[in-house]
Amino acid sequence: MKKLYFAALLAMAVSVGANAQPGNRGFGPRPQINVTFNDYIPAPASFDQVTADIDRGTIKEIEYKSKTVGTTRRATVYLPPKYDKKKKYPVLYLLHGIGGDHKEWMLGTPNVIMDNLYAQKKAEPMIIVMPNGRALPNDKPEGNIYGPEMVKGFEIFEQDLLNDLIPFIQKTFKTYTDKSHRAIAGLSMGGGQSLNFGLGNLDKFAYVGGFSSAPNTKQPEQLIPNVEKTKAENKLLWMVCGSKDGLMFNSSRLKDFCDKNGVPCTLIQYPEGQHDFVVWKYGLYNYAQLIFK
Ligand code: FER
């Protein structure tokens, strides 16, 4: 009996160890949902490499007062090359993961990816806003970041985004203010937020993207309670997830629902992709070319 108990413990330790490999970070159970993925087309090798002698956008850090949180909060903003105050721009809200803050996306060099796209005229000029998606008085990724109080901050951010950040961006920069000129996308927790907030506010966001979306992603029936309304009002529902990412089920569950209900939806499985910036950079590169067109 003792021996059996020991064997069971050993098996558990081995399986926890296996789950802790990079790529799934020990993320819980992994339901398999069989869906037909959209074609994976590799990005050109130089998509994230600094190109000499092209126009470059600018990165700033902004601060805004949040009534929702009761604090002054920060966001990173990327303005396109030759930002012209006499023009108006659409805005992409680009959200980080559970371990990040408003600076995390910079690890994916979105400015380099976008500068290259603009040089090749492959994307519409847009402002990219990278907020801190943990709407709590202490919004640093420290302590028990998976704890329910901190995870709750990612849910509360919906109110901060809609009622505080978007109005601030619209009065600070030259932006369009209608849903057809507003997109939302994010990585992991930010992917879940983007699907939840984007599909949950069809009057505010026409373009929705989820990269390696996390378990904060709502159930498909909650995300799309009215198939005909989503079909009529959403212009893009685009997802990517690594084939080696234990969080795939959050994306494949939604893709399955969309396919069964005739809702246009893309899900690309990044070959050998893990839960990292290789996938997220690919996500931004592709998603940015599809929005505002
Ligand atoms: C979870 C596993 C992963 C979870 C969140 C994540 C809230 C988020 C990962 C990330 O943002 O990288 O169970 O629950």
19-59 pLDDT, tens per residue? 333 344 545 557 889 999 999 999 999 999 999 999 999 99
Cβ(264) to ligand 1 under 6 A?
A: no
Ligand 1: atom nearest CA of 190 is 11
Structure confidence at residue 29 (pLDDT): 56
Domain ranges in the chain are 2-13+27-290
Task: From 107, 119, 114, 106, select the one nearest 52 (Cα to Cα).
Answer: 119
172 CA distance to ligand 1 middle (Å): 33
Instruction: Output the pLDDT for position 35.
Output: 96
Q: Give yes or no for residue 236 having a pLDDT over 60.
A: yes
Q: Given ligand 1 and candidates 211, 247, 277, 278, which is best to mutate, with the most ligand atoms within 8 Å of its CB?
A: 247
Q: Mean of the pLDDT values across residues 242-269?
A: 98
User: Is residue 95 lining ligand 1, measured as CB closer than 6 Å?
Assistant: no
Under the banding of pLDDT at 50, 70 and 90, the label for residue 12 is very low
Q: What is the mean pLDDT of the chain?
A: 92
Q: What is the CATH number of domain 2-13+27-290?
A: 3.40.50.1820
β-strand partners of 207? 183, 236
Mutate to test the pocket of ligand 1, among 19, 189, 213 (most ligand atoms within 8 A of CB): 189
The verdict on the CB of residue 133 being under 6 Å from ligand 1 is no
- Supply the pLDDT for residue 27: 57
In this prediction, residue 21 carries a pLDDT of 36
- pLDDT reported for residue 17: 30
Q: Is 212 in the pocket of ligand 1 (CB under 6 A)?
A: no
pTM for the structure as a whole: 0.91
For ligand 1, say whether the CB of 98 is within 6 Å of any of its atoms.
Answer: yes
